[in-house]
């Protein structure tokens, strides 16, 4: 499912226009992004938790040349499904 399909489904389920559903999806994504940038986490009980974790610097290998390269440390977004969501899958 892509964003357009999600927006269409939300609009149908909530009996709202597609532009209102699109605004809601955009607002949700923006809000989660801002919270994760601050280093906090977003927990939706029954659905899951969005959080940020740190990935340490490491060395890797260029698959074309075999040359060893250094991969910088970075922060990555994570999602852990809640118990209710996991049970429905």
Distance of alpha carbon 79 from alpha carbon 70, whole angstroms:
26
Distance of alpha carbon 78 from alpha carbon 33, whole angstroms:
12
The candidate with the shortest Cα–Cα distance to 24, out of 13, 33, 11, is: 11
The candidate with the shortest Cα–Cα distance to 44, out of 4, 83, 8, is: 83
Taking the domains of the chain in order of start, what are their residue ranges? 1-40, 42-89
User: Under DSSP, is residue 68 helix (H, G, I), strand (E, B) or coil?
Assistant: strand
Mean pLDDT over all residues of the chain?
A: 94
Say what the pLDDT of residue 31 is: 96
Q: What is the CATH number of domain 42-89?
A: 4.10.520.10
Distance of alpha carbon 50 from alpha carbon 12, whole angstroms:
26
pLDDT digits (tens, 9 = 90+) for 74-88: 999 999 999 999 999
pLDDT digits (tens, 9 = 90+) for 43-67: 999 999 999 999 999 999 999 998 9
């Amino acid at each position: 499912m892509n964003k357009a399909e999600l927006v269409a489904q939300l609009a149908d389920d909530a009996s709202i226009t597609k532009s209102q559903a699109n605004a809601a999806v955009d607002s949700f994504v923006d809000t989660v992004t801002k919270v994760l940038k601050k280093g906090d986490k977003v927990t939706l009980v029954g659905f899951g938790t969005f959080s940020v974790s740190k990935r340490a610097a490491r060395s890797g290998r260029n698959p074309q040349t075999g040359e060893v390269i250094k991969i910088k440390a970075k922060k990555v977004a994570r999602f852990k499904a809640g118990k209710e969501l996991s049970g429905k899958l």
